[in-house]
Structure 1
Amino acid sequence: MSRRVVRQSKFRHVFGQAAKADQAYEDIRVSKVTWDSSFCAVNPKFLAIIVEAGGGGAFIVLPLAKTGRVDKNYPLVTGHTAPVLDIDWCPHNDNVIASASDDTAIMVWQIPDYTPMRNITEPIITLEGHSKRVGILSWHPTARNVLLSAGGDNMIIIWNVGTGEVLLSLDDMHPDVIHSVCWNRNGSLLATTCKDKTLRIIDPRKGQVVAERFAAHEGMRPMRAVFTRQGHIFTTGFTRMSQRELGLWDPNNFEEPVALQEMDTSNGVLLPFYDPDSSIVYLCGKGDSSIRYFEITDEPPFVHYLNTFSSKEPQRGMGFMPKRGLDVSKCEIARFYKLHERKCEPIIMTVPRKSDLFQDDLYPDTPGPEPALEADEWLSGQDADPVLISLRDGYVPPKHRELRVTKRNILDVRPPSVPRRSQSASDTPLSQQHTLETLLEEIKALRERVQAQEQRITALENMLCELVDGTD
């Protein structure tokens, strides 16, 4: 009988543990909407959760340190006229979050560092272009202010949030409902899954499907796909017999999977959370009470099972902390925020180490908050990898940074001017000339007033932040 060779990996003993009771967030009415998104988004400053709300859609935003029981009158972010289906924090500004709703609108919000006194009801900008519900949002990983949305109209729209403009509209690539969309590491390609059972790799700027695979998983239930750091595609789906299944694919050769493994007969859609720094993928099924995790490597069988974190309560959703929000002094390599019916519970994944020193091998340089490109540079065809930062001394989120939206004004696009001498009184009635001049004067005065008020608001917010910092 041959001895089984144990694979060497520093992640073989990743250990999951739920945070202590006083570190949870209690009394949150988590949304009951039946939608396969994670319902939770988290960054180094804030935790955002989609909640039940009468007469529209809402989500709550809590500072990470505000654990314990949440006051039932705690301000919400409200503005949508129907349930919120997805939320996503901007990777380049920890105070900016986007929300998508059943009301077909996307709203982008500025969250202050201090706790607001009343509901936040005014988004910085509302993006309207979908004709049906919008259920998927994803910020571009390296370009500033670029946001992707996918809706029930089978369209993907890529927006410049800084101007409110549509950069790209991909409206003829998916014949049915889109189940998932994922950017690759530098944001040059998209991986999408669709109800037509096809996995597609799309170059959004060329508007082309560059590779596709029909029935990567043969079952009819929704499939999910994420890019790995090496450019492979990791998928979760169902077999024809409704077994849950995971797969790994090479987009340059979609005929055969690199790996395909059956898992179990549970019917919850598996949400994959991939960490490119460790090449670990965590699978969280809605309605499951476990998180399974696997390491993806270049050696067969390519997707290696590591372990399962199990608890008693099923999860209604899950948030995944970016690497810069983790505690490197405790060898924490991942942190989840698990939604229950009335609370949110952090779950911490660590690699047990005896040394107190910084563990270089666990924490390679990771994407920081600075974008590598502007929106127009990306649109023109430029690509850039994320701007990396070291976690050696831990990460401190920068102070509140305001998102400036400069909408293109149709009044700025003036027709070519006609030389004055060629205009006669008969061409333009005097009253019309006078009205136009009056309007332009009024617009100019209003603009100046708005700018003055914006400066005043910014100054007051800065004073408030200083006061809050002084009392901490």
Structure 2
Amino acid sequence: MSRSIVRQSKFRHVFGQTVKADQCYDDIRVSKVTWDSSFCAVNPKFLAVIVESSGGGAFLVLPLSKTGRVDKNYPLVIGHAGPVLDIDWCPHDDNILASCSEDCTTMVWQIPDHILIRPISDPIVVLEGHSKRVGIVSWHPTARNILLTAGSDNLIIIWNVGTGEPLTSMDDHPDLIYSISWNRNGSLFCTTCKDRRLRVCDPRKREVVAERLAPHEGIRPMRAIFTRDGNIFTTGFTRMSQRELGLWDPTNFEEPISLLELDTSNGVLLPYYDADANMVYLCGKGDSSIRYFEITDEPPYVHYLSTYSSKEPQRGMGFMPKRGVDVSKCEIARLYKLHDKKCEPITMTVPRKLLERLLEEIQNLKATVLSQEKRICDLENKLSQYSNGTA
């Protein structure tokens, strides 16, 4: 009887766990700027946190191994004339980071592998093209040296970082852009905007190819991310200010695939997506919990898995790329929770037997793909022989 009630899932038993106190990063003055950014970016080498600083904007970059108390005189990355609003590590080079600021500029930085002994103040390139503050920066997922920025001038610019020149720009948004997410191969990106529209944009055509008015009826900020299947996962608010989740097919925006009310909290939900597991981690600003969901092709399509709870609320969050997690410890995800004055890693792990089964499934899938590729190659050779009249 219980089998028919409890949904079978590989990730039903994923659980979150904080690391020991000596593995946290303490005495970090996290920025108090009122901007719905994550304030944190992490990759397999470094942790970067936007911090309070006088006389401009700055952020802190630490090697992941440098845990414990951070010296108050530890060198910062400085250069912006106004507060830093967003940062993003390059997916193709773990030493390259982009930052954007209220000073209307975006800067790209080269971070050395060694521990800093003096501040970094010289970016490798400065990108100037926005007339108002730049609030979003996002690297292209597959193409090198391609960076997207969005500003309060409602303009989206895609840059060639190698030359420092804009490749293209879009001015289709009449109001403030809340979030931007590339799809998996970078051919499209989706945006949410203060005008309450969810848009899908084709940067090569420089046009909006699909849009939906009010995927969430509330007026508070929305977020949207592409899933690996090409659908769009959204977070927002109902008309009664309840937090809400949605899953949408951009080829048919009329009805949602799934729409789920969550709770009555007022913190904006920041979604972090794991494409390998098809899981979404929801971190609300000001919340003390992280909820995680699995997206499947079975109704109700967005399945609640569990909640990690702690005592202190989060100011922001960083999400480690999958290549940076420790699979030897059955870790499938790692988040970096920002408190007022520290950063606390949270590991998401699965039982070892489940991990072994997942690895076995991956190996079987790889073997199937290789077999199919060999079959395709054989068929192409036969076709070539017939075309040349040698068969």
Specify the SS of the correspondent of 2:280.
Answer: strand
| 1:182-221 equivalence runs, <5 A | 182-221=181-220
**Matched residue type, 2:20:** K
**Which secondary structure does the structure 2 equivalent of 1:218 belong to?**
coil
Distance in 2 (alpha carbons) for counterparts of 1:233 and 1:251: 7
Change in CA separation of 1:58 and 1:234 when aligned onto 2, cut-off 3 Å: same
1:208 is displaced (CA, Å) by 1.2
Q: What residue number does 2:178 align with? A: 179
Q: Do 1:159 and 1:168's aligned partners in 2 also have CA atoms closer than 8 Å?
A: yes
> What corresponds to 1:16 in structure 2?
16
Task: Name 1:293's counterpart in structure 2.
Answer: 292
- SS of match in other structure, 1:360: helix
1:21-420 matches, within 5 Å, as 21-171=21-171, 173-354=172-353, 359-360=358-359
- Would the alpha carbon gap of residues 59 and 164 (structure 1) be closer, same or farther in structure 2, given more than 3 Å must change? same
Q: CA deviation at 1:115?
A: 1.7
Would you say the 8 A contact 1:328–1:358 is kept in 2? no
Q: Is the 8 A contact 2:292 2:306 kept in 1?
A: yes
Tell me, yes or no, if the aligned pair for 1:277 and 1:363 is still in contact at 8 Å: no
1:440-451 paired onto structure 2 within 5 Å: none
Q: Between the two proteins, what is the percent identity of the paired residues?
A: 76
Measured after TM superposition, the shift of residue 116 of structure 1 is 2.4
Query: Following the alignment from structure 2 to structure 1, what is the Cα–Cα distance between the partners of residues 81 and 355?
Result: 50
- Assess, with a 3 A threshold, how the Cα gap between structure 1 residues 355 and 158 changes in structure 2: closer, same or farther: closer
Q: CA separation in 2, counterparts of 1:112 and 1:2? A: 55
Q: Give me the whole-angstrom Cα distance separating, in 1, the residues matched to 2:140 and 2:65.
A: 27
CA distance in 2, matches of 1:210, 1:29: 42
Which residue type is aligned with residue 156 of structure 1? I
Whole-Å separation in 2 of the counterparts to 1:162 and 1:113: 21
Q: Give me the TM-score of the superposition, normalised by structure 1.
A: 0.75
Partners of 2:130 and 2:258 in 1: CA distance: 36
Structure 1 residues 256 and 78: alpha-carbon distance in aligned structure 2, compared to 1, 3 A threshold: same
Measure how far apart 1:117 and its partner are: 1.6
Aligned partners of 1:331 and 1:362 also within 8 Å:
no
Residue aligned with 1:230, SS: coil
Judged with a 3 Å threshold, the aligned counterparts in structure 2 of structure 1 residues 285 and 234 are, in CA distance, closer, same or farther, namely same
Give distance in 1, aligned partners of 2:303 and 2:355. 28
Query: By how many angstroms is 1:150 displaced?
Result: 0.4
Larger radius of gyration: 1
The CA RMSD over aligned residues, in Å, is 1.7
Q: 2:122 & 2:363 partners in 1: Cα distance?
A: 39
Q: Deviations over 1:227-267 (max 9, x none)?
A: 00000000000000000000000011100000000000100
In 2, Cα distance between the equivalents of 1:31 and 1:286?
Answer: 14
Aligned pairs, number: 364
The code of the aligned residue for 1:261 comes to L
Shift of 1:358: 8.8
In structure 2, what is the Cα distance between the partners aligned to 1:217 and 1:74?
43
Offset at 1:294? 0.3
| Cα-to-partner distance string for 1:273-320 (whole Å, 9 max, x where unaligned) | 001000000000000000000000000000000000000000000000
Matched residues in 2 for 1:75 and 1:116: separation? 6
- In 2, distance between residues paired with 1:31 and 1:289? 18
**Equivalent residue letter for 1:228:** T
For 1:216, give the aligned amino acid: P
| Unmatched 5+ stretches in structure 1 | 366-472
1:328–1:358 Cα change, 3 Å: farther
Structure 1 distance, partners of 2:54, 2:135, is 20
Code of the aligned partner of 2:142 = T
Provide the secondary structure at the position in 1 that maps to 2:10.
coil
Q: Is the 8 A contact 2:224 2:233 kept in 1?
A: yes
Quote the Cα distance in structure 1 between the aligned partners of 2:281 and 2:326: 19
Contact 2:88 2:99 in 1 (8 A): yes
**Does the CA-based 8 Å contact 2:10-2:354 persist in structure 1?**
no
Q: Could you tell me the TM-score, scaled by structure 2's length?
A: 0.91
Q: Distance in 2 between matches of 1:222 and 1:65?
A: 36
In 2, are the aligned partners of 1:133 and 1:151 still within 8 Å (CA)?
A: yes
**Once the two structures are superposed, what CA deviation does each residue of 1:334-370 show, in whole Å capped at 9, x if it has no partner?**
00000000000000000111589695158789xxxxx
- Matched AA of 1:190: F
Residue pair 1:331, 1:359 contacting (<8 A) in 2 also: no
CA distance in 2, matches of 1:309, 1:198: 31
- How far apart, in 2, do the equivalents of 1:141 and 1:90 lie? 9
- Asked if the contact 2:105/2:130 (under 8 Å) is kept, the reply is yes
Q: Which runs of 5+ in 2 are unaligned?
A: 365-391
Whole-angstrom distance in 1 between the partners of 2:363 and 2:229? 16
Higher strand residue share: 2
Q: Deviations along 1:387-442, whole A, 9 cap, x unmatched?
A: xxxxxxxxxxxxxxxxxxxxxxxxxxxxxxxxxxxxxxxxxxxxxxxxxxxxxxxx
CA contact (8 A) 2:170 2:207 kept: no
Name the SS for the 2:323 alignment partner.
helix
